[in-house]
Amino acid sequence: MKLIHLSDLHLDKRVNEFSMLEDQQYILTEILQIIDREKPDGVMIAGDVYDKSVPSAEAVALLDDFLVRLAKRDLQVFLISGNHDSPERMAFGGRLMAQSGVHLAPVYDGKVSPSTLTDEYGPVNLYLLPFLKPAHVRRCFPEREILTYTDALAAAIEAMGVDTAQRNVLVTHQFVTGAARCDSEEISVGGTDNVDVSVFEPFDYVALGHIHGPQQVGRETVRYCGTPLKYSFSEAKHQKSVTVVELGEKGAVSVRTVPLTPMRDLAELRGTYEELTFRGFYQGTSYPRDYVHITLTDEEDIPDAVSKLRIIYPNLMKLDYDNKRTRAGIILEGAEDQQRSPLELLEEFYEKQNGQPMGEEQRAFAKSLMERIWEEDEA
């Protein structure tokens, strides 16, 4: 049994205000070409299909086209919602689409029934578990204490009644403890969304979504396939890929990746303005096509640097400086005495930020503004 594992398409994503729709259309076509070569029995899409819970018409049209092209290839498609998706919108029309081999995870109600594929070794049961928070699971099992994400996933999986004598695959979208994160991911404060990998013990393979860098967690068969495109410069050195999973008899699972080549890559360049303009003009690089983050090391700011550099690097996304001035930037620390008044704290903040104390006129204005706000709140 051969399965393709995808996730985190983030259709309609904007990176530094650049729309990625054209790049996404290109990479989905490349994925279809890989599917044609690999000839899998099924394709798993592990959530965050869209970048927003209310996607644009263009993003919906792009997904519709991709699913139609998959359905024409005589394979089964298994798709769940992630934390960026609306589970209700993603589940709409699911029973009708299943007739075309596209299986959409319904809104979670405490019950998850598997879809079953069969090969020469017998059945493979695929369970679709969309992104869940403890509150989603708690209302389905009010008698059970569910405080953490691990509690929630453990309860949801236990309720599935998985037959561990058979081959079982789970498609889900969570942050598993130990996975390495990227800047483009939505991070929960304090790591409260962590799920312990032990909850996935009943499954021969776990197709994870949510983390943008391809990686295994705990064991080779608990895996994030990563995004098909780079969505932040923290991912610039990633090799994006499609994950291919092959299940033989019970206990025999092999995992490999097929690299993806984007229409435009993400590149980080560093140097003086003169060095980077020389490189762009004379060295025949691919940077006129790629998305670029430039860090200038000139001690003086270059007037209108972004506009000038975009003549050479038209897809310049981000410009920074690294010089004596930026390295000597003032670091603001929290106030030591939390019992001081809001005005005293503001005065301290102002002095640290501006390098000089607040003047009497400024202090009087700040005090009157605070008093007016408090009076309005009390009214």
**Average pLDDT score over the chain:** 88
Q: Which residues lie closer than 8 Å to 167 by C-beta, 6 or more apart?
A: 1, 121, 122, 123, 124, 125, 204, 247, 250
Q: What is the pLDDT of residues 318-377, one digit of tens each?
A: 999 998 888 876 554 544 455 577 888 888 887 776 667 888 888 888 888 887 776 665
Percent of the chain clearing pLDDT 70 (strictly above) = 89
Q: What is the pLDDT of residues 232-266, one digit of tens each?
A: 998 988 999 999 999 999 999 999 999 999 999 99
Reading the block at residue 7, the tokens are 């996730």
**E strands within the chain?**
2-6, 14-15, 18-19, 42-46, 76-80, 102-104, 115-119, 122-129, 167-173, 175-176, 194-195, 205-209, 215-217, 219-224, 241-247, 253-259, 266-271, 291-296, 316-321
Average pLDDT, stretch 212-228?
94
Q: What is the pLDDT of residue 190?
A: 43
d(CA 94, CA 45): 15
Model confidence, pTM: 0.81
Q: What is the pLDDT of residue 261?
A: 95
For CA atoms 115, 166, 132, 43, the dihedral sign is negative
* Residue 276: its H or E element: helix 273-282
Task: Give the single-character DSSP code of 200.
Answer: G
Q: Token pair 């790049």 is at which residue?
A: 23
Q: What is the pLDDT of residue 376?
A: 62
Residue 281 above 60 pLDDT?
no
Average pLDDT, stretch 39-67?
96
Say if strands 219-224 and 241-247 run parallel, antiparallel, or are unpaired: unpaired
Q: What is the pLDDT of residue 178?
A: 75
Between residues 192 and 226, the one the model is more confident about: 226
Q: What is the pLDDT of residues 49-61, one digit of tens each?
A: 999 999 999 999 9
